Structure 1
Amino acid sequence: MCWICDHPEATDEDYLERLRQIVRSHGWAVQYIESDRTPFAYTVGLHDCGLPELLVSGVSPDRARRLLSTAARAALRGESFTPGRHTALRAGPLVEVVEVEHPDVHLAWALNHGGPGVRALQLVWADERGRWPWAPRFADGRVRQPVLGVRAPRRRRQNA
């Protein structure tokens, strides 16, 4: 269950304060958005360090937390997530970095925390056969992974 579901009496400001506490203690928080269409998750707090927030879609809450935390740690160590670059995440899939066109539409809590200048990068993941969501037979049709921006020209691969 989610914190908001477990605290029905809480206000949006109460939840934002909870996110701020997590960001203060861990450097970032992961916000998961459940949806009938496609769930997604994003970081809150990387903007405080001058970095774009990170987003992933089409995965479970646990997988989203692992992928985003791995990538957030790498970004805070100085590793660059550049649009168009393929990056092999530690203990995770190969991802392509895509600039999110409208963070204001998808990252409400990150904007509530960091203000209107928040940028975001989507970590678009390849399926277990190395197929991307724009390829035929991605995940054998079992999973949807919307891409929330325009793909940049491909750059060379790096490991994170």
Structure 2
Amino acid sequence: MCQRCEEPERPEEQYLIEVLDEIRENGWCVQGVLGTGSRPPWAYTAGLTVQGLPELIVTGLLPHRAMRLLNAAAEQSLCTGPPVPGEQWLLPRLPRLEIVQLSAPAAHLDIAVCCYGTGIEARQLVYADSAGRFPWSPQYNSGRGGQPVLGVRRA
């Protein structure tokens, strides 16, 4: 998912060229960031900005699940327009989502910032657990957390 992490000796310029090529070919790419210790992983899109849409981010999912969710949501955004904070989405074979405006996109979307600057917009796709609860519920994930919310929920 992130060859930059897998091949740290590769020059950053070369990696950015490859990212931009993928964006030109596919419309966007998905970048993953591995979790460490108490910090869960996150993944995000880069390339939706060029299409007049906010970038998307998801936290706490393993790379293959994050990529599936982000790709489905990016396709949905292209069809229906940008996700609106506070809106809930139901996408086929994915958990219920609630959209949250990111407070500081530049702090979490490194590659998107390298491509488009610090003024990018982003929305977090906050997903419900298997019982349908969101992270703002104390019972979410049986009280174990695991999905940081990176903005303020619009109720």
Per the normalisation by structure 2, the TM-score is 0.92
Q: Which has the higher strand share?
A: 1
Q: Specify which structure has the bigger relative contact order, considering alpha-carbon pairs within 8 angstroms and separated by 6 or more residues.
A: 1
Equivalence for 1:14 = 14
For 1:1-160, list aligned pairs within 5 A: 2-36=2-36, 37-153=39-155
CA RMSD after TM alignment: 1.5
CA distance in 2, matches of 1:56, 1:83: 14
Q: Distance in 1 between matches of 2:73 and 2:94?
A: 10
Q: Check the 8 A contact 2:53/2:82 in 1, yes or no.
A: no
Query: Any idea what SS the aligned residue of 2:88 has?
Result: strand
Q: Aligned pair count?
A: 153
Runs of at least 4 residues off by over 2 Å: 4-9
Using structure 1 for the length normalisation, give the TM-score.
0.90
Q: Sequence identity, in percent?
A: 44
Q: Distance in 1 between matches of 2:56 and 2:2?
A: 20
Gaps of 5+ in 1: 154-160
Q: Does the CA-based 8 Å contact 1:58-1:143 persist in structure 2?
A: no
Query: For 2:6 and 2:33, how far apart are their aligned partners in 1?
Result: 15
Q: Report the 3-state secondary structure (helix = DSSP H, G, I; strand = E; otherwise coil) of the residue aligned with 1:77.
A: helix
Residues 8 and 146 of structure 1, relative CA distance in 2, 3 Å threshold: closer
